[in-house]
């Protein structure tokens, strides 16, 4: 009897092993399916996250009849309250196309789990839609091609308008005035004159020029602040050429950073950076962010020369924690001595009215001579000269 039970048990063993192996295979297959499903979902999620809503916006606008030349994308990009706001302007064939694209955008925004807001009433051929996504927003201007925004008719003036007279400031009004002279480094002829000006007047030196290094060294030796006058791409480039070492909006990130570092290393004794030209580059938030990150890494300051009303350079600098400010007056866009004097009067007035002002001039003979002539009168005229770095925060 014991032998028969042993034989029966030996017959059952292969069956049990087969069942156990089958169970293991089922468990393994289930685990593989489960993780593959989760990984696929995560991959799909990340693929959506990496996609650009702008690409979809361009596609949808094209389907509703907008030609490529009628889609003005990312002009400008600005940072508002920690969110990058991308401005798009789209022209469509007619009001029906506008209506359909609005519906497309509503559905697409829901797919991206975003938030869409529109004006309560759409009364003209023009209108705006805002799409808020995680970390960025789209300010979308829709219009019918050739359409104009509604306007209120006004009567033409019966007489030429008179300029508004500036209010007279009290005699006690006093302010601080900073002056920065750009474009140094091109030659040495005017360096002794600039060095003889009050020490508070600073000088911005262009990089990679024959006299960039010795000009910076001489002005530093005589007590003046030295700034890097960083060339940036203007509108009209390359006909308008900012010179060697320019930051171009077409540059990839690595090239922008390398170009900035090279310029920072080229001009010694610098306390800060301001832009040379840059009417195109300073409107590009992406490029300016890379530039400012390099400046912040050196612990330097930034002064926005404001060569365009659309500049985002100051905003980008503040986002990186850089002490920054903006130019209030250009002294010598008109190079005649009496025009320079009028602009200096304006700078003094603003400094007294607002408490401080920053004026930018250039290393031009007439500018230097006006400043030399006025140097001893600043205090009597109600301003204290200070280096530009003292007015940045």
User: How high is the pLDDT of residue 85?
Assistant: 83
What is the CA 191 to chain-centroid distance, rounded? 33
How is residue 212 written in tokens? 């960039």
Question: Average pLDDT over the chain, rounded to whole?
Answer: 85
What's the burial of 129, exposed, middle or buried (CB within 10 Å: 0-12/13-18/19+)? buried
* Percent of the chain scoring above 90 in pLDDT: 59
- Mark 267-289 as b/e (b = at least 16 C-beta within 10 Å): bebbbbbbbbbbbbbbbbbebbb
When pLDDT is cut at 50, 70 and 90, the band that residue 6 belongs to is very low
Residues in the chain: 393
End-to-end CA distance of the chain: 100
173: helix, coil or strand?
A: coil
The answer to whether 271 and 299 are in contact (CB under 8 A) is no
Q: What is the mean pLDDT of residues 348-358?
A: 97
**What are the phi and psi torsion angles at 261 (to 5°)?**
-60, -40
When pLDDT is cut at 50, 70 and 90, the band that residue 32 belongs to is low
The Cα 197–Cα 223 span in angstroms is 10
The Cα 290–Cα 260 span in angstroms is 9
81: helix, coil or strand?
A: coil
When pLDDT is cut at 50, 70 and 90, the band that residue 5 belongs to is very low
Lowest mean pLDDT among 35-39, 66-70, 124-128, 141-145: 35-39
Residue-wise pLDDT for 322-333, tens only, equals 999 999 999 999
Higher pLDDT, 79 or 365: 365
What is the CA 222 to chain-centroid distance, rounded? 35
User: How high is the pLDDT of residue 72?
Assistant: 84
Residue-wise pLDDT for 289-306, tens only, equals 999 999 999 999 999 999
pLDDT of residue 367 exceeding 80, the answer is yes
When pLDDT is cut at 50, 70 and 90, the band that residue 78 belongs to is confident
Stretch (H or E) spanning 83: strand 83-92
The answer to whether the pTM exceeds 0.75 is no
Residue-wise pLDDT for 106-153, tens only, equals 888 888 888 888 765 544 445 788 998 877 889 898 888 865 433 334
How many angstroms separate the Cα of 21 from the Cα of each of 16, 209, 299? 9, 79, 66
pLDDT of residue 43 exceeding 50, the answer is no
pLDDT of residue 42 exceeding 50, the answer is no
The Cα 66–Cα 149 span in angstroms is 19
What is the CA 172 to chain-centroid distance, rounded? 39
Within 10 A of 369 (CB to CB), how many other CB atoms are there? 13
User: How high is the pLDDT of residue 157?
Assistant: 53
How is residue 300 written in tokens? 């330097």
For the chain, domains (ranges, CATH) are 53-144 (3.30.460), 175-391 (3.20.20.370)
Higher pLDDT, 159 or 389: 389
């Amino acid at each position: 009897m014991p032998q028969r039970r042993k034989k029966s048990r030996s017959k059952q063993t292969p069956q049990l092993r087969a069942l156990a192996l089958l169970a293991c295979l089922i468990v393994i297959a289930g685990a593989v399916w489960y993780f593959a499903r989760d990984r696929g979902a995560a991959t799909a999620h990340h693929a959506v996250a990496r996609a650009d809503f702008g690409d979809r916006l361009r596609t949808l606008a094209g389907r509703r009849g907008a030609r490529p030349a009628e889609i003005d994308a990312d002009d400008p990009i600005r940072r508002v309250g920690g969110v990058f706001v991308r401005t798009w302007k789209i022209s469509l064939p007619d009001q029906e196309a506008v209506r359909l694209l609005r519906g497309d955008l509503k559905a697409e925004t829901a797919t991206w789990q975003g938030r869409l807001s529109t004006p309560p009433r759409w009364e003209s051929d023009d209108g705006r839609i805002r799409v808020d996504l995680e970390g960025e927003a789209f300010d979308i201007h829709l219009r019918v091609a050739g359409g104009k925004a509604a306007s209120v008719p006004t009567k033409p003036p019966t007489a030429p308008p008179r300029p508004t007279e500036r209010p007279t400031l009290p005699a006690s009004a006093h302010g601080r005035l900073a002056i920065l002279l750009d474009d140094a480094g091109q030659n040495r002829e005017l360096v002794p004159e600039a060095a003889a000006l009050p020490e508070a007047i600073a000088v911005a030196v262009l990089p990679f020029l024959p006299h960039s290094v010795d000009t910076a060294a001489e002005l530093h030796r005589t007590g003046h602040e030295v700034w890097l006058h960083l060339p940036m791409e203007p509108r009209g480039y390359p006909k308008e050429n900012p010179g060697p070492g320019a930051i171009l909006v077409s540059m990839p990130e690595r090239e922008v950073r390398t170009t900035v570092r090279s310029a920072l290393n080229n001009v010694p004794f610098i306390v800060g950076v301001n832009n040379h030209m840059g009417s195109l580059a300073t409107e590009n938030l992406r490029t300016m962010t890379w530039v400012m990150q390099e400046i912040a890494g050196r612990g330097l300051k930034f002064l926005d020369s404001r060569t365009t009303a659309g500049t985002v350079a100051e905003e980008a600098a503040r986002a990186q924690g850089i002490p920054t400010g903006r130019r209030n007056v250009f002294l010598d866009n008109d190079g005649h001595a009496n025009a320079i004097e009028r602009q200096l009067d304006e700078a003094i007035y603003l400094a007294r009215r607002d408490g401080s002002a920053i004026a930018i001039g250039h290393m031009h003979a007439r500018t230097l001579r006006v400043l030399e002539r006025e140097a001893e009168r600043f205090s009597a005229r109600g301003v204290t000269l200070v280096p530009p770095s003292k007015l940045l925060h």
